[in-house]
Amino acid sequence: MELLKLDVLGAPITLEASLSGFQQMYWNNTLVSQKTASEVSELSAEDEIVHVFQLQRDEQVIRCEVGVTLNWQPFHLSYRVSVNDQVIEQGERSMADMQQQTPTVAMPVKKSVGFVGLASLGFKLLKSAKVIKVVMAGASLAAYSWFFSFQFALALLACLVFHEYGHIRAMKYFGMKTKGIYLIPFLGGLALSDEKINTRWQDVTISMMGPFFGLVMSLVCLLVYWVTGEVFFAGLAAFNALLNLFNLLPILPLDGGHVLKSISFSTNSILGLVLCALGAGVGIFISYQFGLALLGFLLLIGSIEILAEWRMRHQSLLLPLDAYGRAFSTVWYLLTVGGLVGVIWYLAGSGDALLGLPLKVLQS
């Protein structure tokens, strides 16, 4: 990941590093210095890592030195730049600085042959066409109208747009330009951006804001149902909760997959991995204890997928979560899942067959 970008002698100088300790220094897109993981591991967190290299400018050889002190969790970087033994620039970088940075290195994309992965790729290829928004919205409206009424389908689409608006708000908070919202029949929607993220915290926040907005909408519909007694709003609350709960399943590229992947990939110890596995196991056990067979099965599949990728966490270009970030993300995720399941469970107890359908889906 790119940790530092400065202008030195009229050209950009960048520092890239991985969690394993490997570092590379580029000047004007040319590699000028690198440190292996073994070299860095021999130093303590307080030691300065020094990159020394020479540049030739106007037939003059210039000696450059960039000293870096790096702490990953919590993230903090101090740097100094010297030219011919004279310090020309020094400063610090924090997590907030990283979140506002636009990455210049392309993010690696894992190729997936799964149906969900192929569908996601197809939508990304078509996202530049304006007409696709209208086509997908019309397909979603027709699909939900076929199961329910036209009025209920319109209201449900409004809830889904509110869900995607949560993603959009989070993207704009981090200064990212957005491409709009695309609705997908029976799966929810996509909020797209051309810009890439720099930190796991950005990934968690953007992913969680959609289901969190969805939970708020379900609670509002439930409140309106209590006030008016209209079953229409109860059904809207239940099915909106079901769709948002589906998006929180730990399966990529769903929102829950991004959240749990960010948490597990930010764990740098075997103990952390064991705790992630135990947490997933508890979730699966609780799902089966309450008869939520489908939810428990998908949790199991998603957890296996994420844990299988744990070995590659050091090659990530995203700044990891610190201990506080991992704890907060876990609590936020569990509370949102619990709230959505609570809405579904509560309305299923009303005795109405339609309101009980989302719970039957989870129990199937």
Look up the domain containing 33 and give its range: 2-99
pLDDT at 110: 41
- Rounded Cα gap, residues 13 and 302, in angstroms: 40
Based on the fold, state whether residues 68 and 199 are members of the same structural domain: no
| CATH code for the domain of 49 | 2.40.128
Based on the fold, state whether residues 71 and 149 are members of the same structural domain: no
pLDDT at 213: 93
Count of residues making up the chain: 364
Regarding predicted confidence, which is higher, 174 or 221? Answer: 221
- 159, pLDDT greater than 50: yes
Regarding predicted confidence, which is higher, 356 or 170? Answer: 170
Based on the fold, state whether residues 234 and 304 are members of the same structural domain: yes
- Rounded Cα gap, residues 94 and 78, in angstroms: 9
Q: List, in sequence order, every residue forming a beta bridge with 183; answer none if it has no partner.
A: 189
- 109, pLDDT greater than 50: no
What burial letters (b/e) apply to 124-148, b meaning 16+ CB within 10 Å?
A: eeebeeeeebeebbeebbeebbeeb
- 173, pLDDT greater than 50: yes
Non-local (6+) Cβ contacts of 51 within 8 A are 15, 23, 25, 32, 33, 35, 65, 66, 67, 68
Which domain-ending residue is among 33, 64, 99? Answer: 99
Based on the fold, state whether residues 165 and 233 are members of the same structural domain: yes
CB 157 within 8 A of CB 278: no
Regarding predicted confidence, which is higher, 318 or 24? Answer: 24
pLDDT, mean of residues 247-270: 76
Phi-psi region of 342 (alpha: psi -120 to 50; beta: other; left: phi over 0): alpha
- Rounded Cα gap, residues 12 and 5, in angstroms: 7
Residue 193 lies in a domain: yes
Residue 179 lies in a domain: yes
* CA-to-CA separations, 237 to 31, 162, 183, 190, 348, in angstroms, rounded: 56, 13, 19, 21, 11
Based on the fold, state whether residues 230 and 358 are members of the same structural domain: yes
For residue 32, what are its two tokens?
Answer: 């000028």
For residue 304, what are its two tokens?
Answer: 């296996």
pLDDT confidence bin for 108, thresholds 50/70/90:
very low
Amino acid at 98: M
pLDDT confidence bin for 18, thresholds 50/70/90:
confident
CB 13 within 8 A of CB 66: yes
Instruction: Report the chain's terminal Cα–Cα distance, integer Å.
Output: 43
Residue 18 lies in a domain: yes
pLDDT at 49: 84
Based on the fold, state whether residues 234 and 314 are members of the same structural domain: yes
Residue 120 lies in a domain: no
Find the range with the poorest average confidence among 75-89, 258-272, 333-347.
258-272
The residue behind tokens 């796991």 is 200
Based on the fold, state whether residues 91 and 158 are members of the same structural domain: no
pLDDT, mean of residues 144-160: 78
Percent share of the chain, pLDDT over 90: 11
Which domain-ending residue is among 84, 99, 114? Answer: 99
Note the pLDDT tens digit of each residue in 183-213: 777 666 677 777 777 788 888 999 999 999 9
Q: How many structural domains compose the chain?
A: 2
Note the pLDDT tens digit of each residue in 287-314: 777 676 666 776 777 667 666 666 665 5
Non-local (6+) Cβ contacts of 243 within 8 A are 156, 159, 160, 163, 188, 214
pLDDT at 10: 76
Percent share of the chain, pLDDT over 70: 71
Which domain-ending residue is among 40, 66, 99? Answer: 99
The residue behind tokens 């059904």 is 235
Regarding predicted confidence, which is higher, 226 or 56? Answer: 226
Based on the fold, state whether residues 51 and 183 are members of the same structural domain: no
Non-local (6+) Cβ contacts of 59 within 8 A are none
Note the pLDDT tens digit of each residue in 308-324: 666 665 556 677 888 88
Find the range with the poorest average confidence among 75-79, 147-151, 164-168.
147-151
CB 127 within 8 A of CB 192: yes
Note the pLDDT tens digit of each residue in 44-82: 667 788 888 888 777 778 888 888 888 776 777 888 888
Residue 106 lies in a domain: no
Mean pLDDT of the chain: 76
For residue 5, what are its two tokens?
Answer: 């970008």
Based on the fold, state whether residues 150 and 299 are members of the same structural domain: yes
Residue 55 lies in a domain: yes
pLDDT at 122: 57
Based on the fold, state whether residues 162 and 18 are members of the same structural domain: no
Non-local (6+) Cβ contacts of 293 within 8 A are 287, 362, 363, 364
Residue 108 lies in a domain: no
For residue 292, what are its two tokens?
Answer: 């939520």
Based on the fold, state whether residues 149 and 95 are members of the same structural domain: no
**Is the Cα dihedral 106, 111, 116, 122 positive or negative?**
positive
Based on the fold, state whether residues 334 and 202 are members of the same structural domain: yes
Please tell me the pTM assigned to this model: 0.65
Residue 149 lies in a domain: yes
